[in-house]
Structure 1
Amino acid sequence: MARFVLTRRSPLTAEACWDRLTDWPRHGDRVPFTTVRADHGSGRQVGDTILARTRVGPLAFDDPMEIVDLVAPGPGRDGSCRLEKRGRVVRGWAELTVRRLHPEGGTEVTWTEQISIACFPRAVDPVVACSGRAVFGRVLSHLLS
């Protein structure tokens, strides 16, 4: 499985960062040929599912994800959301965390993902990780801007 970690700092509050990170349709704004939506539920509770659909012409695949752990940031509490990827093409997990920075203020956001893509041998994991850092780095920067 390919693994990558992205970290960004933002002057936004933890709550504002959280709202942007869990605005699932905005994730698709920077992933080519992909739309993202809450498929079951609001996308803000354990058990809800998120669906990323990628389509290029007649070729398409779904990346269904289930929220298996979710703690919104609150007073004295950081936020985290763990998604399990349950598709036939993309498997693995992603974890988004929001941490308040004290005493300087602002927030640190970390996106950690471990994925495997069907039919891709492990030998290409470094390429998958590099691609993930590039694509999801753009997504994260977009969400926090």
Structure 2
Amino acid sequence: MARFRVELSSPLPASESWNRILDLRAHDRVIPLTRITEGMVPAAELRPGSRFVARTGAGPLAFDDVMVVDTVTPPRAGEPGRARIHKEGTMIRGSIELWVAPDGAGSQVSWTQDIHVRGVPRALGRLTAGASRAAYGWALRRLLSAS
């Protein structure tokens, strides 16, 4: 299991940052080689128990990343939003904790993830965490800048 964190500042209000990150319909447009094949909904429709599947890869090298929402509390009235999602696929397991807080006119975003990729030994955890941090950071920046 590898753990990593991505922290970003956004000029967007917390509610807009939240909506962009958790709008599963946008993931198809901004994340290469990934398509939401089940549960493609906007952030406002996510509830505890919501299940969604991201198919990542190409041809025979593709796999399903199955995720289930544990908790989801959008930011409101100056309070941060928090979501917890767990991954229960056969290739990728782990959990995600998203935190989006107001910061002046903008917001602060924190994405913390525990990730285990089947077939990757624990000894390569630092490599897995570094590569995942870079990929997720890139994707989060694109989601926050998408219009």
How far apart are 1:122 and its partner, in Å?
A: 0.3
Query: Which of 40-49 and 108-117 deviates more?
Result: 40-49
How far apart are 1:127 and its partner, in Å?
A: 1.2
User: 2:46 matched to which residue of 1?
Assistant: 44
How many corresponding residue pairs? 143
1:74 to 73, 76, 95: 76
**Aligned mates of 2:81, 2:71 — CA distance in 1:** 10
**Contact 1:29 1:139 (C-alpha < 8 Å) held by counterparts:** no
How far apart are 1:75 and its partner, in Å?
A: 1.0
Runs of at least 5 residues in structure 2 that lack an aligned partner in the other structure: none
Structure with higher helix content: 2
Q: Deviations over 1:54-99 (max 9, x none)?
A: 1322222111000001101111321011100011110000111101
**Aligned mates of 2:28, 2:41 — CA distance in 1:** 18
TM-score (norm. length: structure 1): 0.89
Find out whether 1:56 has 2:58 as its counterpart. yes
**Aligned mates of 1:7, 1:77 — CA distance in 2:** 18
Letter in 1 for 2:133: R
Find out whether 1:33 has 2:71 as its counterpart. no
Find out whether 1:94 has 2:96 as its counterpart. yes
TM-score (norm. length: structure 2): 0.88
**Aligned mates of 1:137, 1:53 — CA distance in 2:** 19
Letter in 2 for 1:4: F
User: 1:128 matched to which residue of 2?
Assistant: 128
**Secondary structure in structure 1 of the residue aligned to 2:62:** strand
User: 2:15 matched to which residue of 1?
Assistant: 15
User: 1:137 matched to which residue of 2?
Assistant: 137
Runs of at least 5 residues in structure 1 that lack an aligned partner in the other structure: none
